[in-house]
């Protein structure tokens, strides 16, 4: 063995130097690519957080973005005005003709805002899931402190928005039942109508509570 080494010393050292060189070069390349991936993920996380902030702000004030406005269209301005006017006068009593008009408009206008809210909440949910995946990938590279992540608060806000969305739909359902009951001959002071009004009042109270909680979370996430 010693004779082999003596005879092939240069060859052996050449192989060793080659192996070490390949290892060092590979390490540098891998480190560079990991650094680039880390920078890319950091940039993506920042961009998605900014998008989420904008989405949460628009949703919080009852607005819609371009996607939602193109997917969930409102009834015509004239129909919306007539619908809102008749709906606001429902407690004061409407003629049979006005009730029928309100019922017809309800099918076109009644669920629009609830559907728009659902669309915005759906987008929020998708973005929260994507942010969670990006942060998970980023943690695999290290150097991401748990306190730097706001994903749990985003998930909590998303849960609140889901609850608000469901409450909006439930409230519209009750409004529809009131209109149907009045068309069926019930009076505004009848027990079935009073029961439905009480249910609507409870829903509105719950809406206020969840809205307050969501608003507090949104402020923590959106404001610097």
Residue 161, in any domain of the structure: yes
Average pLDDT over every residue of 89-111: 91
The pair of structure tokens assigned to 41 is 């993920």
Residue 147, in any domain of the structure: yes
pLDDT for 166 equals 95
**Residue keyed to tokens 């606001």:** 88
Distance CA 28, CA 144 (A): 22
What sign results for the dihedral spanned by CA atoms 83, 84, 85, 87? positive
Residue 13, in any domain of the structure: no
Residue 139, in any domain of the structure: yes
Distance of CA 111 to the CA centre of its chain: 19
**Residue keyed to tokens 């590979």:** 26
Residue 75, in any domain of the structure: yes
Which of 50-59, 73-82, 89-98, 209-218 has the lowest average pLDDT?
Answer: 89-98
pLDDT for 40 equals 78
The pair of structure tokens assigned to 172 is 């519209």
Distance CA 140, CA 137 (A): 5
Containing structural domain, residue 48: 30-222
pLDDT for 24 equals 45
Higher pLDDT, 106 or 30: 106
pLDDT exceeds 70 at position 59: yes
User: What would the pLDDT profile of 109-127 be if each residue is shown by its tens digit?
Assistant: 999 999 999 999 999 999 9
Residue 169, in any domain of the structure: yes
Assign 30 a pLDDT band (cuts: 50, 70, 90): very low
Assign 200 a pLDDT band (cuts: 50, 70, 90): very high
pLDDT exceeds 60 at position 23: no
Distance CA 163, CA 169 (A): 10
Higher pLDDT, 210 or 25: 210
Average pLDDT over every residue of 180-203: 92
Higher pLDDT, 19 or 94: 94
Number of domains, the chain: 1
pLDDT exceeds 60 at position 94: yes
Residue 65, in any domain of the structure: yes
Burial status of residue 164 (CB atoms within 10 A of its CB: 0-12, 13-18, 19 or more): buried
Residue 6, in any domain of the structure: no
3-state secondary structure of 3: helix
User: What would the pLDDT profile of 128-183 be if each residue is shown by its tens digit?
Assistant: 999 988 888 887 776 665 556 788 899 999 999 999 999 999 999 999 999 999 99
């Amino acid at each position: 063995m010693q004779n082999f080494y003596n005879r092939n010393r240069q060859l052996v050292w050449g192989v060793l130097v080659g192996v070490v060189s390949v290892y060092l070069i590979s390490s540098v390349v891998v480190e560079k690519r990991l650094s680039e991936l880390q920078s890319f993920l950091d940039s993506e996380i920042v961009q998605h957080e900014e998008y989420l902030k904008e989405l949460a702000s628009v949703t919080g004030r009852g607005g819609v973005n371009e996607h939602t406005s193109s997917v969930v269209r409102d009834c015509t301005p004239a129909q919306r005005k007539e619908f809102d006017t008749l709906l606001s006068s429902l407690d004061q009593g409407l003629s049979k003709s006005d009730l029928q008009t309100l019922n017809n408009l309800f099918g076109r206008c009644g669920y629009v805002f609830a559907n728009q809210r659902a669309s915005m909440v759906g987008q929020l949910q998708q973005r929260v899931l994507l942010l969670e995946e990006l942060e998970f990938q980023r943690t695999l590279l290290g150097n991401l402190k748990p306190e730097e992540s706001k994903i749990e608060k985003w998930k909590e806000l998303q849960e609140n928005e889901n609850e608000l969305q469901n409450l909006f739909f439930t409230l519209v359902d009750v409004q529809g039942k009131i209109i149907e009951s009045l068309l069926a001959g019930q009076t505004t002071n009848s027990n079935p109508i009073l029961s439905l009004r009480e249910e609507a009042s409870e829903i509105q109270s719950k809406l206020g509570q969840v809205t307050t909680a969501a608003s507090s979370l949104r402020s923590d996430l959106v404001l610097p």
